[in-house]
Structure formats: C-alpha cells, structure tokens
Amino acid sequence: MRILEGKELQNAENWMGQAVIFGKKASCNRAHYGSVIVKDGELIGGGFNSPPQDKESQRKCSYSKGEYHKKVTDKTCCIHAVQRAIMDALRKNPDKLPGSRLYFIRLDDADEISYAGKPYCTICSKMALDAGIKEFVLWHEEGIAVYDTEEYNLLSYQYQ
C-alpha cells in the first residue's frame, strides 16, 4: 500500500468523486458504497450496493447477521458496489478490465465521504483479482491509498 500524492492524488480525488455519485444511488438500508473502475483515464465500469436488480423481494437489510444460516458466507443481501462495477465493466469494456484501477468509497448516513476501513471483503477482492484489476484504491484517514490487488486480496483474509 502507498498513500497517493501530488498529481496522482488529485486524479484519485476526481475518480473518488465519481464513485460518490454511484454510491448515492445505493439503496441498501445499512450502508452506501460506490465504486468505479478506470483504465487510461476512462471510466470503464461503475457500481453501488443494492439488492439484486433492486428488487424489494430480495431486501434483507433489516435482518440481523445472526439470523442467517451459519453457512451463509456473505451476510448482506446486497450486490456489493465492487461486484456491480466489475459486472458493468465486463458488459461494457471487457477488453479494458485487465490492468485497470478500482476506486471504492464508503458514504456516511448523510451521503458524505467516510473513511474506508482496511481491506476486508474477500468476495470483492477475489473477484477483482480474477478480473485482472491491477490496483484497488481506498480513502483512509491518513489519505487515499492504492493497493496492488494481489496485496489487497491477501490483506482481506486478515480482517476480523
């Protein structure tokens, strides 16, 4: 991981702004996240968290995580913002996905930028790694950090 500076930081702030736009579309009742995937200065995919196809019949945001069967590995009902951004890029720009950079943003209850935690979602990290995404970007308290996606995936397994 490295904290971005200078022109690279300014560029990342702009892409994080785009991720915020996607995050504001999130319909999850628990949290709002946004994600964009960029390659060579072009937005190639974007996503936000919400139930599959935004169907109310699939919404389980009010469930306690303890209510799920113990074999359920992802205790959310929503498609993750990262998953949706990858699927969007695969539909629209599959040839541009390898070597791309993914920006992820977390929003607070007022839909303002909130600092992301350390890498934690193995579902998203494995999918990003398998799709060929080169780098994963999070906004931490100490600044905007870029991770090699392989490093991000390995770190996600350490989350508790």
- pLDDT computed for residue 74 by the predictor: 56
Q: Report whether 120 contacts 144 (CB < 8 A).
A: no
Query: Tell me, what's the pLDDT at 28?
Result: 85
Average pLDDT, the chain: 89
Write down the pTM of the prediction. 0.90
pLDDT over threshold 90, residue 26 = yes
Give the pLDDT confidence of 84-98 residue by residue, as tens digits. Answer: 999 999 999 999 999
Task: Supply angle C-alpha 61, 66, 67, rounded to 5.
Answer: 65
Domain, as residue range, for 107: 2-156
Number of structural domains in the chain = 1
pLDDT (tens digit, 9 = 90+) per residue, 82-139? Answer: 999 999 999 999 999 999 999 999 999 999 999 998 898 899 999 999 999 999 999 9
CATH code for the domain in which residue 24 is found: 3.40.140.10
Average pLDDT, stretch 6-29?
96
φ and ψ at residue 123, rounded to 5 degrees: -60, -50
